[in-house]
């Protein structure tokens, strides 16, 4: 019974993560059907991610109030209903609004699998369940664009949202069956930090608007953008102060005093930006410069997914033999090379080089994501593990939302700068040349951030190895993980 609920929750998580990226391969058809500029397509992913971030801090309170069985039922049905509304959208604004609703339900379902693993399974089965959970979290971002491209090519863009109905029903049925013996939900009155909730909604909402629309309005030349930027910074700073002082914080920011968790979350912001940014930029690039169809885009993305799928079974054994810091360094470097190859492909496109770039990306992302998850889940005592998981998930979603918005804005900025430098009325060839330059520079920026992440973890590993050797010479022994705490 317990395993049914866990597997059902993992299926639900697969559905929610896959849906963040499932629209990327269908950007062209969605843009054409809803008459939206292609440059605005990042709102489809960003709206989901922002709603997810705002919901994540409330999941502990909601699960205690509702109980796991009712909680799973409410948010699974909400996600499926929002999916139907997305499929029926008649305007771009309606689609973005429905994606916000999806993000709320997705943010609620995201931590459910981890909570059920920790509370419903015996300690001896946690490792097997976490391996399965980790595999789904790693594969889901790849499956989204692949399934999105295939379904759009054969059944139209609305079908990518209807896909959630059978997946959601299977997950919900398993959870309802596995949670049949769950005791009634608690009646304790847990206070909600409403000021903190208002501050994070204002801060993240205005920040996302600035990142998405700043380029259109000339950034800080626009008074509106300048005022909203100030509002976002003040609201987010006030949120941090409020959460540190609150007796009932939405987010347990105090856990970030744990150095290992702080490092994992900081790295997860960069990784989230790289993962979600890549899954958005690659289809955008292939549509704008190569005029690829959704089916062709899904095939390109599938190369990276095939590598991820092939090595997932070896990850537990690799983790036993290789330090997590070393794996992150290798993964970041491989991802850096992949991003650099995409940068080169902008000016000199070669299908063979793109395939190699995707293979490296699949291997690199897998070697980064899994070790970071290990760092986060082993950083705290069991009692604090759910709160640490929420912080880790928030950092991933925040990195993804900011990464997609910034990278899309950078493409727009560099493209506009190129056309402005020409003077006169640019032709179609000039427009394409501007996008070649813009995509090349944007992928190069991503490569630079990944290289910096590799250097940071290499320095961290060298420092901790030296500290461990020094501790071994003195009284007592300290492990690398312990020295992080």
pLDDT digits (tens, 9 = 90+) for 104-159: 999 899 888 878 887 788 877 876 777 778 777 777 877 888 888 889 888 999 99
Question: Tokens 């089965």 appear where?
Answer: 125
Burial class (CB in 10 A: 0-12, 13-18, 19+), 336: buried
CA–CA separation, 264 vs 250, rounded Å?
20
CA distances (Å), origin 410, targets 42, 43, 124, 164, 165: 12, 15, 48, 32, 36
Q: What is the pLDDT of residue 472?
A: 78
CA distances (Å), origin 162, targets 18, 104, 159, 202, 221: 13, 18, 5, 32, 43
Q: Decide which of 188 and 326 is more confident.
A: 326
- Structure-block tokens of residue 280: 């958005």
Residue 483 confidence class, pLDDT cut points 50, 70, 90: very low
Q: pLDDT tens, 208-238?
A: 788 777 877 878 888 999 999 999 999 999 9
- Residue 32, pLDDT > 90, answer no
Ordered by start, the domain boundaries in the chain are: 1-183, 193-249, 255-485
Residue 36 confidence class, pLDDT cut points 50, 70, 90: confident
- Structure-block tokens of residue 114: 């981890």
CA–CA separation, 150 vs 145, rounded Å?
9
List all residues 6 or more positions away from 257 whose beta carbon is below 8 Å from its beta carbon: none
Residue 440 confidence class, pLDDT cut points 50, 70, 90: very high
Highest-scoring range by mean pLDDT, 268-277, 370-379, 383-392, 420-429:
268-277
- Residue 335, pLDDT > 70, answer yes
CA–CA separation, 276 vs 46, rounded Å?
10
- What does pLDDT average to over the chain? 85
pTM equals 0.82
Q: pLDDT tens, 64-105?
A: 788 888 999 999 999 999 999 999 999 999 999 999 999 999
Residues written for the chain: 485
- Residue 481, pLDDT > 80, answer no
Q: pLDDT tens, 244-266?
A: 888 778 778 888 888 989 999 99
**Domain formed by 255-485, architecture:** Up-down Bundle (1.20)
Q: What is the pLDDT of residue 478?
A: 47
> Taking residues 163-175, what's their average pLDDT?
94
Give the SS3 label for residue 159. Answer: helix
> Taking residues 317-331, what's their average pLDDT?
90
CA–CA separation, 21 vs 134, rounded Å?
18
Phi, psi values for residue 163, rounded to 5°: -55, -30
- Structure-block tokens of residue 95: 């689609």
Q: What is the pLDDT of residue 89?
A: 93
CA distances (Å), origin 188, targets 62, 63, 72, 184, 252: 12, 12, 20, 12, 20
Which runs of consecutive H residues, i.e. helices, occur in 56-190?
59-66, 68-87, 92-109, 112-120, 126-155, 159-162, 164-178
Q: What is the pLDDT of residue 183?
A: 62
Residue 480 confidence class, pLDDT cut points 50, 70, 90: very low
The answer to whether residues 483 and 471 touch, using CB atoms and an 8 Å cutoff, is: yes
Burial class (CB in 10 A: 0-12, 13-18, 19+), 94: middle
**Domain formed by 1-183, architecture:** Up-down Bundle (1.20)
Question: Tokens 């999105």 appear where?
Answer: 148
Residue 163 confidence class, pLDDT cut points 50, 70, 90: very high
- Structure-block tokens of residue 421: 């430098």
* Whether the domain at 1-183 and the domain at 255-485 fall into the same CATH topology: yes
- Structure-block tokens of residue 261: 């968790």
- Structure-block tokens of residue 54: 């705002």
> Taking residues 469-483, what's their average pLDDT?
60
Residue 169 confidence class, pLDDT cut points 50, 70, 90: very high
- Residue 278, pLDDT > 80, answer yes
Residue 111's closest CA among 194, 17, 243, 22?
A: 17
Q: Decide which of 406 and 213 is more confident.
A: 406
CA–CA separation, 193 vs 294, rounded Å?
44
> Taking residues 170-195, what's their average pLDDT?
77
Burial class (CB in 10 A: 0-12, 13-18, 19+), 433: middle
Residue 302's closest CA among 367, 361, 344?
A: 361
Q: What is the pLDDT of residue 57?
A: 80
- Residue 468, pLDDT > 70, answer yes
Dihedral of CA atoms 124, 130, 131, 135 in degrees, nearest 10, equals 160
Q: What is the pLDDT of residue 91?
A: 92
Highest-scoring range by mean pLDDT, 190-194, 385-389, 411-415, 473-477:
411-415
Q: What is the pLDDT of residue 392?
A: 86
The answer to whether residues 95 and 31 touch, using CB atoms and an 8 Å cutoff, is: no
Give the SS3 label for residue 250. Answer: coil
394 CB-side CA count, 13 A: 22
> Taking residues 293-307, what's their average pLDDT?
85
End-to-end CA, the chain: 36
Residue 201's closest CA among 232, 159, 163?
A: 232
- Residue 401, pLDDT > 90, answer no
Residue 157's closest CA among 14, 15, 28?
A: 28
Q: What is the pLDDT of residue 482?
A: 47
Q: What is the pLDDT of residue 185?
A: 57
């Amino acid at each position: 019974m317990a395993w049914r609920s866990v597997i059902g929750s993992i299926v639900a998580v697969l559905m929610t993560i896959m849906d963040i990226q499932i629209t990327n391969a269908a950007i062209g058809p969605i843009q054409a059907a809803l008459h939206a500029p292609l440059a605005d397509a990042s709102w489809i992913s960003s709206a989901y991610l922002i709603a997810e971030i705002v919901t994540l801090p409330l999941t502990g309170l909601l699960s205690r109030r509702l109980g796991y069985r009712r909680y799973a039922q409410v948010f699974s049905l909400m996600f499926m209903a929002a999916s139907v509304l997305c499929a029926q959208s008649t305007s771009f604004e309606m689609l973005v609004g429905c994606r916000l609703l999806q993000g709320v339900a997705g943010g609620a379902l995201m931590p459910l699998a981890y909570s059920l693993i920790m509370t419903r399974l015996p300690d001896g089965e946690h490792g097997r369940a976490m391996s399965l959970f980790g595999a789904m979290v790693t594969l889901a971002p790849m499956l989204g664009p692949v399934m999105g491209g295939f379904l759009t090519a054969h059944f139209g863009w609305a079908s990518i949202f209807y896909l959630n109905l059978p997946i959601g029903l299977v997950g919900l049925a398993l959870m309802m069956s596995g949670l049949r013996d769950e005791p009634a939900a608690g009646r304790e009155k847990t206070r909600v930090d409403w000021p903190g909730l208002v501050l994070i909604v204002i801060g993240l909402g205005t920040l996302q608007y600035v990142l998405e629309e700043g380029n259109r309005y000339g950034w800080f030349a626009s008074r509106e953008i300048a005022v909203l930027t100030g509002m976002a910074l003040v609201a987010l700073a006030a949120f941090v102060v409020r959460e540190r002082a609150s007796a009932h914080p939405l987010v347990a920011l105090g856990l970030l005093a744990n150095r290992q968790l702080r490092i994992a979350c900081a790295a997860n912001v960069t990784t989230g930006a790289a993962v979600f940014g890549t899954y958005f930029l690659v289809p955008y690039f292939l549509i704008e410069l190569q005029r690829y169809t959704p089916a062709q885009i899904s095939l390109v993305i599938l190369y990276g997914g095939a590598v991820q799928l092939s090595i997932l079974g070896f990850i537990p054994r690799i983790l036993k033999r290789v330090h997590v810091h070393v794996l992150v360094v290798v993964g970041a470097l491989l991802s850096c090379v992949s991003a650099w190859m995409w940068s080169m492909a902008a000016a000199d496109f070669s299908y063979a080089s793109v395939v190699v770039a995707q293979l490296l990306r699949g291997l690199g992302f897998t070697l980064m994501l899994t070790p970071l998850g290990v760092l986060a889940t082993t950083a705290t005592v069991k009692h604090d593990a759910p709160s640490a998981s929420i912080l880790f998930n928030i950092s991933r979603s925040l990195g993804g939302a900011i990464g997609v918005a910034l990278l899309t804005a950078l493409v727009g900025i560099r493209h506009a700068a190129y056309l402005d430098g020409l003077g006169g009325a640019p032709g179609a060839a000039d427009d394409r040349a501007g996008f070649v330059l813009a995509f090349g520079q944007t992928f190069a920026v991503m490569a630079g951030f990944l290289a910096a992440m590799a250097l940071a973890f290499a320095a961290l590993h060298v420092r901790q190895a030296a500290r461990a050797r020094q501790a071994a010479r003195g009284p007592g022994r300290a492990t690398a993980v312990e020295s992080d705490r």
